[in-house]
Chains A and B, each alone.
Chain A
């Protein structure tokens, strides 16, 4: 287990506060928690790919960064207008 995988494991603990806020907070707070959780997930994918020395896995982090932006923006627009 190298420094990258240790960092990924430590970073994953940051998902617990996001989960708590998403369950207990208001709906806009839950959106903020979702955005932070997707950031943490993307960084964790980056760290895992580098820790396992699998370069193709880095594409997952790129795709996650783009799709999490689109997803959160969609949530924000829906919360603003309809829900």
Chain B
């Protein structure tokens, strides 16, 4: 087992581990906003590590180029999807995306708007 094989195994372990941690994380999180945080490592670290593993094994090949392409697509689309999902969750919850003046005031001084 040479250095390249060891690097491939380490990169695969990092990629698979980050995706599995994300999967366990969404079970542990309380609400959709918390769960969204756990999709980050799976969509960024996972593809980078696995594309890196493919590149270590086959540096100049169509497989390496396609793996890098998949990683780039996932890194580019992940944050867009995260934002769209958070927006959908907030609009469903509050009925609007923009923050209301009353919400800001309640955040600054909760006692004024607290329920008896």
| Contact (Cβ within 8 A) A3 B12 | yes
Interface of chain A, helix or strand or loop or mixed? helix
Given known A3-B8, A39-B19, A73-B81, contact A80–B91 (CB-CB < 8 A): yes
| B84 CB contact (under 8 Å) in A17, A58, A77 | A77
Given known A46-B70, A66-B73, A76-B87, contact A39–B39 (CB-CB < 8 A): yes
Given known A28-B32, A39-B46, contact A59–B66 (CB-CB < 8 A): yes
| B88 CB contact (under 8 Å) in A18, A28, A43, A47 | A28
Inter-chain CA distance A39–B89, complex, in Å, is 20
| Contact (Cβ within 8 A) B22 A36 | yes
| Contact (Cβ within 8 A) B27 A21 | yes
| Contact (Cβ within 8 A) A65 B23 | no
Closest residue of B by beta carbon distance from A16: B23
| Contact (Cβ within 8 A) B88 A7 | no
> 0/1 per residue, A28-50, Cβ < 8 Å to B?
11011101100110110011011
| A62 CB contact (under 8 Å) in B19, B39, B66 | B66
> 0/1 per residue, A41-75, Cβ < 8 Å to B?
01100110110000100110110011001001100
B residues 60-101 in Cβ contact with A at 8 Å: 61-63, 66-67, 69-70, 73-74, 77-78, 80-81, 84-85, 87-89, 91-92
Inter-chain CA distance A77–B83, complex, in Å, is 11
Give the residues in chain A near B5, CB-CB below 8 Å.
3
| Contact (Cβ within 8 A) A43 B85 | no
